[in-house]
Amino acid sequence: MAAREPLRVAIVGCGFQGRLHAECLARLPDVEVVAVCDTAAERAAVLAQQLGIPRSYPGYEAVLEHEELDLVTVCTMPDTHREIAVAAIDKGCHVLCEKPMAIDAAEAAEIVEAAEQRGVVVGIGFNMRFTESARIIHEHLELGVIGRPVCARGHMLADDVPWWGRHYDRSVSGGGALAATAVHMLDLVWWLVGRPRPLTATASSTTLFPGKRGAGAPSDAARDSYSVEDIVFGHVRFEGGFWMSIEGAWVWDQPGWNYGFDLVGSRAQARFDPLEIRGEVDGTLKHIYGPRNAVNDFPASVAAEIEAFVETIGTGEPGAVASARDGLVVQSIVDALYASARDGREVEVA
């Protein structure tokens, strides 16, 4: 058999996530990162020089015009996701787009429609699906050890604002502690329990900045453009009776990042971190698995996700990577939670 031609890849956005994508892709066989781009042209040039990538460009338009590509990874802020993804799809490229998928579900739906019309594969960067805890809990769910999923509590709580990107500016991020961070746990739980159709959502949120964390703003411009929620609690009901709560915060007064979930099943209960499954065995509550510290770090899960997506392109098998339609469903839930927090009522998920 003839060897497969290398997958030619360009990375749009050369911040922390773009660099991580480039490093992960460079380690894969049959993959060639041929270009990077960033509106900060010097940042793109530096990344290309450091990683031995042949070319850098000041914008995605030039990349799509001058390069023959198979895959584009989108590592920019959400306000540009639709524009870049659709342009790449129109060129016949597969796309791996970071989360959240778009500013809102209307923009996410445009990406889905474009991908399905062009027949390309689009994945959304919900890398927490590729953590060790997620894999093991998924296996126990498949084996029936946990039983029928009943309810869950997901949370992603931080003691500071993620200043490394403009996540605090709603005009470019689409939202704060929910859209930028806690959405990871929302997607992960939803995927683990079989992706049931969401029905309704209710939420409350507030902004405590600058009363909290105001002193940590890196600049006056960042402080002045802070326009998102930094604490949010939500509740989502799904078809079939499953329900979950989701909690997000950047002003949590406990050190570091605290994230994970507890999933209650009809037979046992699973915890993400520390990884643990407990349930009744012959009428006695016992450890079925764990507890232990699993490998749930961010870079490792991103690397596994990227490898799985490249494999998906080659085989056509969907695997665990979040599809474009998955991203649209999750974005629709996020939109409904924000609408509920704004209007003070339960909202149907569109």
pLDDT given at position 317: 82
Which residue, among 166, 176, 174, has the nearest Cα to 81 in the 3D structure? 174
Residue 223 in tokens: 């402080």
Every domain range in the chain assigned CATH 3.30.360.10 = 129-296+329-348
pLDDT given at position 1: 34
pLDDT given at position 281: 87
**Residue ranges of the alpha helices (H) in the chain?**
16-26, 41-51, 60-66, 81-90, 105-118, 132-142, 170-173, 183-192, 220-224, 298-315, 324-343
Every domain range in the chain assigned CATH 3.40.50.720 = 7-128+305-322
Which residue, among 29, 79, 25, 80, has the nearest Cα to 47 in the 3D structure? 25
CB atoms within 10 A of CB 256: 10
| Burial class of residue 253 (count of CB atoms within 10 Å of its CB; 0-12, 13-18, 19+) | exposed
Which residue, among 322, 323, 344, 348, has the nearest Cα to 134 in the 3D structure? 322
| Burial class of residue 60 (count of CB atoms within 10 Å of its CB; 0-12, 13-18, 19+) | buried
pLDDT digit string (tens) for 260-296? Answer: 999 999 999 999 999 999 999 888 999 999 999 999 9
Beta bridge partners of 349: none
The CATH number of domain 7-128+305-322 is 3.40.50.720: yes
Q: What is the mean pLDDT of each run of 10 residues along the chain (350 residues)?
A: 75 96 95 97 96 96 97 98 98 97 98 97 97 98 97 98 95 98 98 98 98 96 97 98 98 95 98 96 92 92 97 87 97 98 97
Residue 320 in tokens: 């665990």
Q: 272-280 — which CB contacts under 8 Å span 24+ positions?
A: 272/131, 272/133, 272/134, 272/137, 272/296, 273/133, 275/132, 275/133, 275/136, 275/137, 277/137, 277/140, 277/145, 277/146, 279/145, 279/146
Q: What top-level class would CATH report for the domain 129-296+329-348?
A: alpha beta
CB atoms within 10 A of CB 294: 19
Sheet of 268-271, strands arranged across: 284-292, 275-281, 268-271, 257-265, 149-158, 243-249, 231-238, 198-206, 347-348
Which residue, among 128, 120, 125, 111, has the nearest Cα to 91 in the 3D structure? 120
pLDDT digit string (tens) for 100-112? Answer: 999 999 999 999 9
Omega of the bond leading into 318 within 30 degrees of 0 (cis): no
DSSP run (H or E) holding 244? strand 243-249
